[in-house]
Structure 1
Amino acid sequence: MLEMLMQWYRRRFSDPEAIALLVILVAGFGIIFFFSGLLAPLLVAI
């Protein structure tokens, strides 16, 4: 099972641009999730 996951990981994320996209998406969702209480009033004020 672990070998199958490692093969999938190598196939999907061998490209550095794919890893960069994944990091950007995770960071974006994390910022929205953790700072939603602060971002919502700022977006409404704009």
Structure 2
Amino acid sequence: MMLAGAEAALKGIPLHECPYRHPAMRASWLKGFAQEQQQSFKF
């Protein structure tokens, strides 16, 4: 998360503007979402 923030700062992308639109945040969010989806099927 820190790396994504630093990268955004260097590129001039405001992280607080829209986290879900930020590539790094979106990738990590989708990754976590996919993992939750897989876990929910294991009963």
Q: Normalising to structure 1: TM-score of the pair?
A: 0.47
Q: Does 1 or 2 have the higher relative contact order (CA < 8 Å, sep 6+)? A: 2
Which has the higher Rg, Structure 1 or Structure 2?
1
**Bigger helix share:** 1
